Amino acid sequence: MKNIELLEIKGKCVIPVLKKSVEERLNSLKFVNPKVRELCDYAISDDLFLRAGLVILGCEAVGGHENDVLPAAAAIELLNRSTLVHDDLVDGDSIRYGRETIWSKYGEGNAVFVGDFLCAQAFLMILNDKNYTEDVRTQCSLLLSEMYTRLCMGAIKEELYQVDYIISKDECLELIELLTPPITELGMKMGAIVGGGKDAEVESLANYGKHLGIALFVYNHIEGIFGSKKASKIRGVDILNKKINLLLVYAIENAKNRDREKLLKILKKRRISNADTNFVIKKIIELGSLTYAKNLIISNLKKARKNISLFPKSKIKKDLEHLTISMSNLLNENNTTN
């Protein structure tokens, strides 16, 4: 079994807890009608629970038990889905992993409100769980708040940069650290806290999650240029939508004057043609952006593995190590230059 598949299986363990929590909350609201229930159920009913899987692994890595961490893992999953619902609306993405996005299926206003609802429910998952000590509930709530704050600040910065696409590679890397690692970094930290991990173990797993998150996000940027059937991304989608993309930023920064001017001119067009997209992708390859991105992913995966070196040999440690190796293999399997 591939380790990414194992992560998906781990993550799906939160589904009963997550659905029960949302259902109980909706039942407590007298004004909720069937359409609202349908909307909320749709928001939590796909098969992708990777972030929850990482929280569970973080708990088990320090000797905790899966059942103990399910509420925390469900909270992370709710917060993650809240941000994705809002991101899809802001970006105008109508499909995510083969399904209609919330705003596309139910309208823009409903996407805003259901995203807010999922965020609020994430905090309730922690605060209402009496099996956690007061100290654990406080620490987990603070981590959720830090996650959401960092994600929001990252999203604001991204929107500001997209106005004229004046952003350096280093600024783009700072943006990447704001936008994705909070979920994986602080999610694994939360799992380790719930599992009763020592301070050194908690920080090591948080750093593992941080570097894994950076690798995942950069890989997402590669898909944004070269496309992905699994993620329902067409070739050049980040170019067409003028999204901040590390590969494109790297190409602009390293291009000679004439090519740089042409790249920026294309991004300022109201409508980007297929010829424009092909030119941009050609320059991304020629200027070494793809190689740079792949090397950055490999570097962060190595850092992730290094951060769990203090843990003794165990099945969970092996799973965490193999998860990074699976990602490295994924880079080699995908021929992104076609």
Name the region of 107 (left: φ>0; alpha: ψ -120 to 50; beta: rest): left
pLDDT tens digits along 33-70: 888 899 999 999 876 888 999 999 999 999 999 999 99
pLDDT tens digits along 194-231: 999 999 999 999 999 999 999 999 999 999 999 987 77
- What's at 200, amino acid-wise? A
What CA–CA distance (Å, rounded) separates 148 from 178? 10
Is 50 exceeded by the pLDDT of residue 106?
yes
List, in sequence order, the alpha helices (H) in the chain.
Answer: 3-11, 15-27, 34-43, 50-61, 66-91, 102-106, 108-127, 134-161, 169-179, 181-194, 199-226, 237-240, 246-254, 257-267, 274-286, 289-306, 315-333
Q: Could you tell me the domains of the chain?
A: 3-323 (1.10.600.10)
What's the average model confidence in pLDDT over 130-139? 95
What CA–CA distance (Å, rounded) separates 192 from 167? 36
Q: Give the list of residues 6+ apart from residue 46 with CB closer than 8 angstroms, or none.
A: 97, 99
pLDDT tens digits along 256-286: 999 999 999 999 998 999 999 999 999 999 9
Residue 270 main-chain phi, psi, to 5 deg: -70, -40
| DSSP characters over 3-40 | HHHHHHHHHGGGHHHHHHHHHHHHHT-TT--HHHHHHH
Taking the CA atoms of residue 280, residue 281, residue 287 and residue 289 in that order, the dihedral angle to the nearest 10 degrees is: 120
